[in-house]
Amino acid sequence: MRGKIIRLLAIVSVLAALVPASMAGASEDGSETGSEAGEVQGVVEALPGTTNLVGDWLVSGVTVHVTTATEIDDDLAAVAVGATVEVEGVWEADGSITAHEVEVSEDAEDDDYGEMKLEGLVDALPATPDLVGDWVVSGVTVHVTTETEIETEHGSIAVGAAVEVEGLAEADGSITAHRIETKDPEDIDEHEAVLLGTVGSFPSGDLVGKWRVSRHVVRVAPDTTIRRARLLDRGASVRVVGTLRANGTIRATRVAVRAG
For 4, residues 6+ apart whose C-beta sits below 8 A from its C-beta are none
pLDDT value of position 42: 76
Cα–Cα distance measured from residue 45 to residue 47, given in angstroms and rounded to the nearest whole number: 7
pLDDT value of position 98: 96
Cα–Cα distance measured from residue 186 to residue 113, given in angstroms and rounded to the nearest whole number: 29
Cα–Cα distance measured from residue 42 to residue 154, given in angstroms and rounded to the nearest whole number: 35
Which helix (DSSP H) or strand (DSSP E) does residue 2 occupy? helix 2-18
DSSP string, 5-35: HHHHHHHHHHHHHHS-GGGT-B-TTS-B--S
Using only C-alpha atoms, the chain has a radius of gyration, in whole angstroms, of 24
Q: Say what the alpha-carbon torsion angle 26, 28, 29, 35 is, to the nearest 10 degrees.
A: -30
pLDDT value of position 177: 94
- The Cβ-side half-sphere exposure at 230, using a 13 Å CA radius, reads 1
pLDDT value of position 31: 38
CATH for 115-187, options being 3.40.190.10, 2.40.390.10, 3.40.50.280, 2.40.50.140: 2.40.50.140
pLDDT value of position 62: 85
Phi, psi of 231 (to 5 degrees): -90, 0
- Residue 229 DSSP label: G
Cα–Cα distance measured from residue 78 to residue 83, given in angstroms and rounded to the nearest whole number: 8
CATH class as words, domain 192-257:
mainly beta
Cα–Cα distance measured from residue 72 to residue 75, given in angstroms and rounded to the nearest whole number: 8
Do 177 and 165 contact (CB within 8 A), yes or no? Answer: yes
pLDDT value of position 18: 43
Cα–Cα distance measured from residue 182 to residue 252, given in angstroms and rounded to the nearest whole number: 25
* Identical topology for domains 37-110 and 115-187: yes
Domain regions of the chain by residue span: 37-110, 115-187, 192-257
DSSP string, 154-200: TS---TT-EEEEEEEEPTTS-EEEEEEEE--GGG--TTEEEEEEEEE
pLDDT value of position 221: 96
pLDDT value of position 40: 85
pLDDT value of position 110: 53
Q: Tell me the average confidence (pLDDT) per consecutive run of 10 residues in the chain, 260 residues long.
A: 48 44 36 67 84 90 92 82 87 92 77 78 94 94 95 93 91 88 90 85 91 87 94 86 84 88
Regarding pTM above 0.75, the answer is no
pLDDT value of position 219: 95
* Beta-bridge partners for 135: 142
pLDDT value of position 198: 80
CATH for 37-110, options being 2.40.50.140, 2.40.30.130, 2.115.10.20, 3.20.20.450: 2.40.50.140
